[in-house]
A and B are shown apart, each in its own frame.
Chain A
Amino acid sequence: MKHTILMLLLIALSQQAGAQVPDRDTYLKGFEQRVAYVTSIYDTMQTAGYYQIAVRYAHNKDIAGADKMFAELLRDPRGDMFWMIPSMGAYLHGKDKMSAETRALVRNAWKTYAPYRGDTENHWCMYYSALYLAAEQWPNLPGPEWYNGKSSDENLREAREYLIHWIKITTTIGQGEFDSPDYFPEYAMPMVLLSHFAKDPEMKTRGTMMADYIFADFATEHLDGQYIGGYSRIYQPAVYKPLLSGASAFAYLYFGTGTPTNSGWIVIPALCNYRLPHIIYSIALDRSSTIIEKERKRVRNVIRFGTEKNPPVYKYTYITKDYGIGSLQGGILQPIQQHTWGVRYTYGRPYTTIFGLHPYWSGTEVGMFFPEEVKTLIADVVASKGTYNNPDKWTGGSPYERTFQHRNTLLVLYDIVPGTTTEHIDGFFPRNLEERTVDPSGWIICKAGDTYVGWYPLQEYEWKEEIENPANTLNEIGRPQLERVKETGNWRLRSHKRQNGYVIEVRSKDEIGSFEQFKAGLQKHIPKATLLPGKVSLQYKNLGGDMMEFAFPDKRVLNGKAVDLSKTRLFDGPFLSADVGSEKLTMTYKRKTRVLDFKAVKITE
C-alpha cells in the first residue's frame, strides 16, 4: 500500500513537473508582459502603418502622429481584406481619441475604396468580420455611403449571415484552411476583433467562441511554439523553420512559447481584451502525457474535377514533450501549400523538422480550386507563389501520395504516373541533426536531441546538399522571390523511382531509451514492399509490435483490422471532443471542461 501511494505521488509530481502550466494570475501577468514586448516598438516607429496607428491610440501616445499616419495611408488604401482588418482594428482602438477629421477620413475610405472580397475562406472571414464591425460602427447609412452600394443594414445582415455560415460549416464538417501555421493569423485576428468590439452581444459571443475554437485546435497540436502535424497551407521558409510562421507568433503571445517576436500579426490582437481561457493554454502547455489526436477537416471548395464540394480531410497527430509527428491522408486536399506530413521536435532551432513530399504541380490541381482558365492558371499562381512549379519546392500535396499513421509510425506510399510534372520524391533533413546515419539495414537514423527519427526508404536514393538561393533572386516574371527556395547546408533525400515510399519511426529517449537502443530496434524491423505500377503496397511491423498493412491508395489495415477513416470525428483526443455535425466542441483538461455550443451560442464551464 505504501509503495502504491509513493508511486502515485511520484507520478503526480512528474506530471506536475512536465505540465509547466502557470496558474491564472501568473499566466495573465506573463501575457501582459508579452503584450508590452510585442507592442513596444510600434508607438515610436515612424513609418506609417496600421499597427503603428493602433498602438499609438491604444497607448494614448502621439495621437497626432497616429492621425497623420491614418491620413497618409488613406490617401491610397490598398490591400483588400488585409487592409480591412488592420485598418478597422486601428480605428476601433482609436475612434474616441482621433480627431474628427481622421474619423471622417476613415468613414470616407469605406465609401470610396472597394476591397476585393477574395476567393477563399480566410479572405472571406477577414472581409466579413471587418465589414460587420464597420456596419455596426456606422449604422443607418444608405447604400451610396458604402463602397458596395449597400446600406449599413444590408452590409450588417450579409456579413452576419456569412460569419454564421462559416461558423456552422467549420463546427459541423471541419475548418477549410485548417491548422495552417501561416494562415492562423487570418482567422485569429478577425475573431479576436469581433470578441472585443462587436456591439451585438451574440456576435461578440460568437467571436469569442470561434477564437476559443481555433486556439484550442492549435493548442492540442502545439509543441514549443510550433504547430504539429499536417497542414492545409504553409510557405517556405516556415515549412523548414517552423518558428517563422504566423501561428508561432500567436503561440508566443498566447501560450508564452517559442521565441519573443514583434510580428505585426499579433499587434492588433495584443491590444484587444480577449484572453485565452485557462483550459486552452493548459492544453497547449501540458505535455506530461502522450497525445494522440485524430481530427476531421474539410477540403477547400472544389469547383472543378470533382462533384463533392468539401471532401473530408483526415488528420492524425502524435505528440510527446519532445516531438510530434502528424499526417493527412494524402492526395490533393489544398492547392499549392499543403503539408501532408512532418515530424517536428523541440531540439535544434530553427530547423526543427523532418518531412517528405512529392513535388507536384498541375493545371488540374489549381483548376480544382481557382476559377480562371485551367491552361493558364499555373502562370497566374506562379505570379504570387513563386515556387509552385519548382521541382525542388518543399510544399504541396500530390495525388500520387498517401499516408498511413499509427501512433508514432508513419507509412508513406507513392505511385506516380509517368509524365507527371516531377517523377521524384524528396525528403528534408535539417543540417543541424546530431546524427544522420545510413545504417547497413537500410534505415536512415537521425538524432535530434532526445528525439530519434528513423526513415526507411523503399527505393534507391541520393543525397543533395541544399545550396543557398540569394534572397534577391527574381522569379520568371521579374518579381522578387517571395520565398527563398533553398537554404544552405540542409540535406535533400531524392529518389527518382515512381513507385516509392518510406517508413518513418520516431521515438524519444523517454520512450525507447538510448539512441543505440533505437538503432538496434530499427535493425530488426525491415518493411516488405511491393512496388509495381498500379500495385504499390507495404507491410510493416513497427517498433511497438503493431502490424501495419498499406496498399496504395487507401487500403489501410492495422493488426488485421481495416482502418476506416470515414469514422473520424471532428476532434478526438485527450483534450478535445466533437462529433461531425454537432456544432459543439468540448474541451477537457483534468477535471475542467469548457463546452462551446454554437447552436445555442453558449459557453459552459
Chain B
Amino acid sequence: MKSSQVLCIGLITTLLSAGLFGQQSTVYISVLSTKLFVVGAANPETGLYYKKTGDTTWHHAGAKNIRAFGLAVHTPSKGSFVCIASGNGVHRSTDGGATWKITTGWEITEVLSVVVDKSDPKFILCATPYGVYRTLDGGTTWKECNNGIKEKFTSSIVIDHKNNNVLYCATEDGVYRSDNRGDSWQRTGMGVGSVCVVVQNPKEPNILVAGTNDRGIYITRNAGKYWEKTEAGLDHLTFYAIAYDPTNPQVLYAGGYVSGIYKSTDGGVSWTRKNEGLTNLNVHSLAVDPTNGNRVFVGTQWGGIFQSDNAGDTWYNIGLNGSQVWTISVQPF
C-alpha cells in the first residue's frame, strides 16, 4: 500500500471519528435533578436535553422540573416521537419537543424508564416502582401488567428486537420474562434480588446482560434460562448502566455506584477499567453512538455528562455539571 493511500485511509478514519461524512447523531439525555432538588422549591432547570453533533451547547425541551428519569426516542423516517419517563408520568412529543402531552393518568407515577417497540411504535412500556405498564395504542390507554411479578419495583425493560412478544424486565426480585407482551411474567433463572438494568445483545437476542445492586454483572446466553456471573476484572458490585456497542456486539460498557466505567471487548467475559478523564465515578447512564462506535457517552450522578471519542480510552466533560444524568439515548439524524 502506498503511503498516500495510507494517509487517505487515515484521513477518512479521522473524519469519520470526528462525526463527518454523515455520522451525525443527536444525544438525548434526561436530567433527573441537581443536588439542590427539593419538591416545591425553586429548583434549577432539569428534564430533557439534547445536542446534535457539532452543537456546542445543550438544548432543553419540555417541562423543566418533572423528575425526568428515562427517555425513549423513536426515529423512523416518518412519525418520529420522543417520550420522557418522569415523576409526572410518560410525556410524549410528536413535534420534536415543541409540544408535549402526559399520556398517562394519576395511577402511573415516578416512571423510571420507557421503551418503544421499533416495529410497532404504538406498543410502549414503562417501568415504575409499582411495576410495568403498557400501552398498545400509542399512549391513549395504559394498562398495568404485573401478573407473575413478585416484587414490582421495576427499573428497566427490554423489548426483544427479534420478537416483540418477548419482554424482559429488571425488578427487585431478579429479571422476569414475558412471552406475551406483558400479559404474564415468569422469573428467569437468575438467583439474585435487586436488578437495576437489563440490556439485550443487538445481534443475538438470546444474550442479555444484567447489572445488579451489590451483586455484580450477570450474563445469559439462553434468553434467561441460566445466568452466569461475570467477574473477571470487575472490582465493583453495583451497576446501573450497561451499553452494547451497536456496531460491534463484542464490546460492552458498564458503570454504576462509584465504579467509573468498565469495558469488555469479549462480549462481557472480562472487563477493564476505563476512567481516564472521568472525574465523577458515580455512573448512571451509558450510550454508544450507533453511527460511530468510538463515540461513547456517560451520564453521572451529580457530575454531568462525559464523552469519549476513542471507545472509552479517555473521557471529557461535555456539560451539565452538578446534574444527575439518568438516561442517555443516541440517535442518528
Using a CB–CB distance below 8 Å, which chain A residues touch chain B? Answer: 78-83, 114-119, 123-124, 128, 143-144, 147-150, 158-159, 161-162, 165, 301, 303-305, 307, 371-376, 379-380, 383-384, 477, 479
B32 close to A372 (CB less than 8 A): yes
A143 to B238, CA, bound (A): 42
Contacts of B41 in A (CB 8 A): 78-79, 384
| Closest B residue, CB atoms, query A126 | B40
B112 within 8 A of partner (CB) = yes
A123 close to B39 (CB less than 8 A): yes
B36 close to A383 (CB less than 8 A): yes
For this complex, 20 residue pairs linking A to B, each with C-beta atoms less than 8 Å apart, are A79-B41, A81-B39, A116-B67, A119-B67, A119-B87, A158-B106, A165-B106, A301-B129, A303-B152, A303-B153, A304-B151, A307-B151, A371-B112, A371-B129, A373-B196, A373-B257, A379-B35, A380-B33, A380-B37, A479-B36
B162 within 8 A of partner (CB) = no
Given A116-B88, A123-B39, A383-B37: A161 and B105 within 8 A (CB)?
yes
| Closest A residue, CB atoms, query B110 | A371
B301 within 8 A of partner (CB) = yes
B282 within 8 A of partner (CB) = yes
B213 within 8 A of partner (CB) = yes
Smallest beta-carbon distance B130→chain A, Å: 7
Smallest beta-carbon distance B86→chain A, Å: 8
A81 to B88, CA, bound (A): 12
Smallest beta-carbon distance B153→chain A, Å: 5
B265 within 8 A of partner (CB) = no
Chain B interface SS verdict (over half):
loop
| Closest A residue, CB atoms, query B106 | A162
B238 close to A375 (CB less than 8 A): yes
B150 within 8 A of partner (CB) = yes
Q: Which B residues, 203 to 243, have Cβ-Cβ distances below 8 Å to chain A?
A: 213, 238, 240
| Closest B residue, CB atoms, query A76 | B42
Using a CB–CB distance below 8 Å, which chain B residues touch chain A? Answer: 32-33, 35-43, 62-67, 69, 87-89, 91, 99-102, 105-106, 109-110, 112, 128-130, 150-153, 172, 194, 196, 213, 238, 240, 257, 282, 284, 301
B99 close to A117 (CB less than 8 A): no
Contacts of B152 in A (CB 8 A): 303
A502 to B41, CA, bound (A): 40
Q: Which among A82, A118, A379, A477 has the greatest number of chain B C-beta atoms within 10 A?
A: A118
Given A124-B106, A371-B110: A148 and B172 within 8 A (CB)?
no
Known: A114-B62, A123-B39, A373-B301. 6 other contacts (CB 8 A): A79-B41, A82-B40, A115-B65, A158-B106, A374-B194, A477-B35
Smallest beta-carbon distance B109→chain A, Å: 7
Given A78-B42, A79-B41, A303-B153: A376 and B102 within 8 A (CB)?
no
Smallest beta-carbon distance A120→chain B, Å: 8
B282 close to A376 (CB less than 8 A): yes
A114 close to B65 (CB less than 8 A): yes
B106 close to A119 (CB less than 8 A): no
Smallest beta-carbon distance B332→chain A, Å: 27
B87 close to A118 (CB less than 8 A): yes
Smallest beta-carbon distance A88→chain B, Å: 15
A144 to B98, CA, bound (A): 11
| Closest B residue, CB atoms, query A384 | B38
Given A78-B42, A148-B88, A150-B101: A116 and B65 within 8 A (CB)?
yes
| Closest B residue, CB atoms, query A148 | B102
A210 to B105, CA, bound (A): 23
Contacts of A158 in B (CB 8 A): 105-106
Smallest beta-carbon distance A277→chain B, Å: 30
B64 close to A117 (CB less than 8 A): no
B63 close to A114 (CB less than 8 A): yes
Complex A-B, nearest 9 residue pairs according to Cβ-Cβ distance, in ascending order: A149-B101, A114-B63, A303-B129, A82-B40, A162-B106, A384-B38, A148-B102, A117-B88, A371-B110
A144 to B102, CA, bound (A): 11
CB-contact partner of A119 in B39, B105, B112, B257, under 8 A: B39
A383 to B34, CA, bound (A): 10
A373 close to B240 (CB less than 8 A): yes
Smallest beta-carbon distance A146→chain B, Å: 9
Contacts of A162 in B (CB 8 A): 106
Given A79-B41, A80-B40, A376-B257: A148 and B101 within 8 A (CB)?
yes
B301 close to A376 (CB less than 8 A): yes
Smallest beta-carbon distance B105→chain A, Å: 5
Smallest beta-carbon distance B280→chain A, Å: 12
Smallest beta-carbon distance B57→chain A, Å: 22
Contacts of B150 in A (CB 8 A): 307
CB-contact partner of B102 in A119, A123, A149, under 8 A: A149
Smallest beta-carbon distance A475→chain B, Å: 11
A161 close to B87 (CB less than 8 A): no
CB-contact partner of B87 in A116, A128, A383, under 8 A: A116
| Closest B residue, CB atoms, query A162 | B106
Q: Which among A114, A147, A301, A479 has the greatest number of chain B C-beta atoms within 10 A?
A: A114
B213 close to A374 (CB less than 8 A): yes
